[in-house]
Chains A and B, each alone.
Chain A
Amino acid sequence: MSSTYVWQISGTEKFANVIDFLCRLLHRETLFVFLHNSFSPNPDELVIDLYKNFGFDGKLVVNYANTMAWG
């Protein structure tokens, strides 16, 4: 079952904050978070860089999984 959440984050934040936010939201200790259903960016990456490289239409779409999917 999949769910979609939309929220805003400052570009100066690191991707680690996206991961943490999702973990807290979904009550998980760890989550695997991906872009384009395929790769997991380094948590130290800046959201603004990821958005510039991989976002479109004003959004950065992330996918999450409980297990190491697309390994």
Chain B
Amino acid sequence: MAAMEAVKYVWEGAIPLQIHLHQSEVTTLPPPPPALILAPRIGYLPLLLPHIKPYFSSTLPPGVDTIWFDYKGLPLKWYIPTGVLFDLLCPDPQRPWNLTVHFRGYPGNVLIPCEGEDSVKWSFINSLKEAAYIINGNCKNVMNMSQSDQVELWNSVMNAGNLEAYLRVSSKLKLGIVEDEYSVNFSSCSTKSRQGAGETDMAGQVKTGRIPIRLYVWSVSQDFDDVEDLPEVESWDKVSYINQPLEIIIEEGRYFTLYDAVRTLLPEYFANRPLINEELPREEGADEQNSPSEDASRNRTLEDGEVDTSGNLQTCCTSSNAEIKLLRIQGIEPKLEIPFSWVVNNLMNPERFLHICVCLKVPKVNNT
């Protein structure tokens, strides 16, 4: 089924890591070479311990292992999926991604405690419950999972293993998918009024009103043309982490885009509503409204994050808006005009949260 193809790609996405043991923990000469590991995007770094430990066990100083990682000195928050960490901290993707592993000296002042797989599982299940609460108003479905289902769910996620098993167990949770205007009749969409996405559709798929989202925002004040020039995040203080659900508003004749979602989540940066979305060609109306070359230029400027200030758009207020310099989900930079429902249904993580990394260029205060 075509719909599953994207989900499968996401599930199988992985980051090649080159993991170096911190020099303070190397007790042998020569020092061990780095470990080369392929880490699932939807997984978590501490789960890699069994794969990493063998490379370094003979050189570690005596003591109890408490594994943690850093990237260029920044301790990595272990409860953030590996793929999200990479998208956030490595705007110019480094392959392999060079990380440092530590087995001692856990930085308890920066990182919350992690006691191995159990801590990661606890964090995962609680995130899933939180998502269930956001979607359904309660998490009974997760709490009532049978023991064997819970085990199967965790096992399927733990090594980005069995997607079929994950789908089988998670479908019982009835967390639904977001109604996708492109897979149902357009006419049935137009009968809905301006509330959240509505009721169970004819295919028996429950639509969700509120969508769990985790948004990671960092900003720059200068202009950068290339992703490789973007400064890297050096401290967690520089990242605004926003945990906020979103409700898709279905309006007649247009679809809710990824850009709409970002604007809704960050109203303070996008106070002046550009008319870009109204001007975007609809599936049917494209040739009436715009010539192909105009569309192409608009798409291009949207991807560059610059507000299109040509002709028929309102130009007076756009200079005070923030510009999206980079937006990544599952390592992809989706076009901002993609229907948000598609993004959610295909790019969410197994705990049912959609993680979005955004770099904004924020105008300087004294800009005119």
Q: Interface readout for B129-156 with A: 1 if CB under 8 Å, 0 if not?
A: 1100110001100010000000000000
A contact residues, total (Cβ < 8 Å): 20
Point out the residues of chain A lying under 8 angstroms from B79, CB to CB. Answer: 42, 44
Interface of A is mostly: loop
For residue A53, CB closer than 8 A to chain B, the reply is: yes
Q: Are B245 and A39 in contact (CB under 8 A)?
A: no
Contacts of A68 in B (CB 8 A): 122
- Judging by beta carbons under 8 Å apart, are B77 and A41 in contact? no
For A36-57 the 0/1 string (1 means CB < 8 A from B) is 1011111111100110111000
Q: Which of A41, A43, A46 contacts B130 (CB 8 A)?
A: A41
Task: Verify B244–A42 contact, CB threshold 8 A.
Answer: no
Q: Are B133 and A39 within 8 A (Cβ)?
A: yes
The answer to whether B138 and A42 touch across the interface, beta carbons within 8 angstroms, is no
Contact B112 A44 (CB under 8 A): yes
Q: Which of B126, B133, B139 makes the CB contact (< 8 A) with A42?
A: B126
Interface assignment of A5: CB less than 8 Å from any CB of chain B: no
Asked if A70 is an interface residue, CB under 8 A from chain B, the answer is yes
Nearest residue in B to A32 (C-beta to C-beta)? B122
Residue B38 lies at the interface, judged by CB distance under 8 Å to chain A: no
| B126-A39 in contact (CB<8A) | yes
Partner pick for A41 among B126, B241, B244, B245, CB 8 A cutoff: B126
* Inter-chain contact A49/B133, CB cutoff 8 Å: no
Instruction: Write out the residue numbers on chain A whose beta carbons fall within 8 Å of the beta carbon of B245.
Output: 53
Q: Out of A16, A35, A54, A70, name the residue touching B112 (CB < 8 Å).
A: A16
- Pick the contact of A40: B77, B126, B244 (CB < 8 A): B126
A5, B172: Cα distance in complex, Å: 37
Residues of A within 8 A of B112 (CB): 16, 42-44
In the assembled complex, the CB of B45 is this many whole angstroms from the nearest CB of chain A, namely 16
Instruction: For the complex, give the distance between the alpha carbons of A19 and B235 in Å.
Output: 24
Q: How far is the CA of A35 from the CA of B127 in the complex (A)?
A: 12
CB contacts (< 8 Å) of A52 on chain B: these are 244
Which of A43, A54, A70 contacts B133 (CB under 8 A)? A54
Asked if A42 and B134 make an inter-chain contact with CB atoms under 8 angstroms apart, the answer reads no
> Is the Cβ of B243 less than 8 Å from the Cβ of A39?
no
- Take A49-B242, A49-B244 as given contacts and tell me if A38 and B122 are in contact as well, using a CB distance cutoff of 8 Å: no
What residue in chain A is nearest B137 (Cβ atoms)?
A: A36
Q: What CA separation (Å) do A43 and B112 show in the bound complex?
A: 7
Q: Is the CB of A49 within 8 A of B243?
A: yes
Residue contact B122 to A40, C-beta cutoff 8 Å: yes
- Does B272 sit within 8 A of A, measured CB to CB? no
Known contacts: A38-B139, A49-B242, A53-B244. The answer to whether A44 contacts B133 by CB under 8 A is no
Closest Cβ neighbor of A30 among chain B residues: B113
Which A residue sits closest to B79, measured CB to CB? A42
With A39-B133, A41-B130, A53-B244 known, 12 other A-B pairs at CB within 8 A are: A35-B133, A38-B133, A38-B138, A39-B126, A40-B122, A40-B126, A42-B123, A44-B77, A44-B241, A45-B243, A52-B244, A71-B125
- Return 16 A-B CB contacts under 8 Å, by A number: A16-B112, A38-B129, A38-B133, A38-B138, A41-B126, A41-B130, A42-B123, A42-B126, A45-B243, A49-B242, A49-B243, A50-B243, A53-B244, A54-B133, A70-B143, A71-B125
